[in-house]
Amino acid sequence: MAPIPTPPAEPEDSPDSYVGMEADGAERRARERGWSSVRSLPPGAIITMEYRVGRLNFEVGGGRVIRCWKG
């Protein structure tokens, strides 16, 4: 049987630090800090709930990040 792969470590970064930032700047900063995937969503968007290591999610309203979470 093949070994189970070990997922890469996530960046040492606090999602709360992105709240209030302009969406473009927040996405640029997240990529610079090592997030492999950044997803911007409108408020109330219907999304899948699978957890993806290395992904940062932004809820964006009025051009600014109003909520941010990992996965």
Place of tokens 């999304």: 47
Prediction pTM value: 0.84
pLDDT band at 5; cut points 50, 70, 90 = confident
pLDDT of residue 49: 83
Q: In whole angstroms, what is the distance from residue 58 CA to residue 42 CA? A: 8
pLDDT in tens, 15-34: 999 999 999 999 999 999 99
**CA 7, CA 52: separation in Å to the nearest integer?**
10
9: pLDDT confidence band, cut at 50, 70 and 90?
confident
